[in-house]
Amino acid sequence: MALNIDELRERARRKLPTAVFDFIDGAAEDEVTLRRNREAFGRYALVPRVGIDVSAIDVAVTMLGQPLSVPLLLAPTGLCGMATSRGEIPAARAATEAGILCAVSCLSSVTLEEVSREAPGQHWFQLYVWKDRAVTQALVERATQHGYRVLVVTLDVPVLGQRERDVRNGATIPPRITLRNALDTLRRPGWLWKIARGPRVTFANVAAADPSVGLNPFALSPFINSLFDPTVTWKDLEWMRRIWKGPVAVKGVMTVEDARLAVEHGADAVIVSNHGGRQLDGAAGALDPLPEIVDAVGSRTEIILDGGIRRGTDMAKALALGARACMIGRPYLYGLGAAGQAGVADAIRILTSELRRAMALMGCKRIGDLGRSCLRPA
Ligand SMILES: Cc1cc2nc3c(=O)[nH]c(=O)nc-3n(C[C@H](O)[C@H](O)[C@H](O)COP(=O)(O)O)c2cc1C
């Protein structure tokens, strides 16, 4: 078992080929926003309190009516099958076993039907609005049929951010062994064995609609760019709202203006996020706009903070600023790459125990006790 998320990351780095590790770990351009996601937490100090009976700490909450054993969700991440074969399934199983929720990406490496069948739970489904609205609508219908509870609409990818590590590594789907990366890949026989025995890594939901997808290896970024629609507007959110009967969460909001628009166009939850620094490099850290967004729309919607969480103390800060829950992307992908389902469970366990310990040291017995008085400028 790893001691902390950084240790899980190191284990993943050793187990995964460089191109796969970089696909997970990397971000857009100079990765300034990736670093800012971490730095933003450093601007707050936590306030210790003493003389309070903290023998019973309760970290359970509800999110859009669903119970969570701890205010944590697994963020939607495409192609978990790069980290380990059919990776969405062990990730979703670990979430359910821990009593938390996971949002399954529409760009998953197994179909949304396979996840709901092989890892049953109260999962959410994340959607990009694709150029082909008929395919988009069909995905919504499939997610409805298979019992997904909440639709997460990600709006911060009208075009794909340039992840320079992927370009430099010549990342393809499925990953290919080339002269350049052969030695590096062969040094990770555990990964190679799992991937070689499993099904071909591809965008399974897209391939289900168009069987020509995945027949030949293709470059990652141009393919994704060809799917996404740069004309998407708030009108499309209204359309989503009409065709999806359950709650809708809008992901990728970084300003008060957009948070208000999301609520006006029917969002039940707002996910404050810069896509883990993978989209607009130079944007602020995800935590930075959180307090003003909470002040503006927090009474009308539930707010999730997504990006840069690596410690339970980071979660404590986001929750104290008014987030109802936090999402993690890379921390559980490191776990998946390091040790499959057990690694994801480890990531969840680490963050949960760190949060509980921080709350005890802050004299907070319940999540509701975390508020702005628990923070000072660092
Ligand atoms: C490898 C990878 C793939 C991702 N794929 C998606 C995706 O398909 N849909 C989406 O909305 N966000 C995607 N994201 C962004 C995550 O949902 C989340 O916003 C981000 O990872 C949060 O930052 P963190 O990694 O610091 O926790 C992806 C992130 C990573 C690292």
| pLDDT reported for residue 173 | 78
The CA 333 to ligand 1 mean position distance, Å, reads: 10
- pLDDT (average), residues 100-128: 96
Other beta carbons less than 10 A from residue 164's beta carbon? 16
Query: For the packed helices 18-25 and 5-15, what is the interaxial angle rounded to 10 degrees?
Result: 150
Nearest CA to ligand 1 atom 2: 77
Pocket flag, ligand 1, residue 24 (CB < 6 Å): yes
Q: What is the DSSP letter of 170?
A: T
Residue 368 in this model has a pLDDT that exceeds 70 = yes
CA-based diameter of the chain, in Å? 65
Nearest CA to ligand 1 atom 10: 76
pTM for this prediction: 0.97
Q: Where are the domains of the chain?
A: 5-364
Pocket flag, ligand 1, residue 275 (CB < 6 Å): yes
| pLDDT reported for residue 225 | 79
Report the share of the chain in percent with pLDDT over 70.
Answer: 98
Q: Which atom of ligand 1 is nearest to the CA of 76?
A: 17
The fold adopted by the segment(s) 5-364 is TIM Barrel (3.20.20)
pLDDT band at 216 (very low <50, low <70, confident <90, very high): low
The CA 306 to ligand 1 mean position distance, Å, reads: 9
| pLDDT reported for residue 215 | 61
Q: What is the DSSP letter of 366?
A: B
Q: What digits encode the pLDDT tens for the residues 228-278? A: 889 999 999 999 999 999 999 999 999 999 999 999 999 999 999 999 999
Amino acid at 277: G
Residue 286 in this model has a pLDDT that exceeds 80 = yes
- Is 83:24 a contact under the CB 8 Å cutoff? yes
Nearest CA to ligand 1 atom 19: 275
Residue 227 in this model has a pLDDT that exceeds 70 = yes
Look-up of token digits 């789907």: 173
Q: What digits encode the pLDDT tens for the residues 33-65? A: 999 999 999 999 999 999 999 999 999 999 999
Look-up of token digits 């911060």: 156
Tell me if residue 146 is catalytic. no
Q: Which atom of ligand 1 is nearest to the CA of 154?
A: 11
Q: What digits encode the pLDDT tens for the residues 129-167? A: 888 889 899 999 999 999 999 999 999 999 999 999 999
Q: What digits encode the pLDDT tens for the residues 66-99? A: 999 999 999 999 999 889 999 999 999 999 999 9
Residue of 123, 146, 265, 275 marked active site? 275
Pocket flag, ligand 1, residue 330 (CB < 6 Å): yes
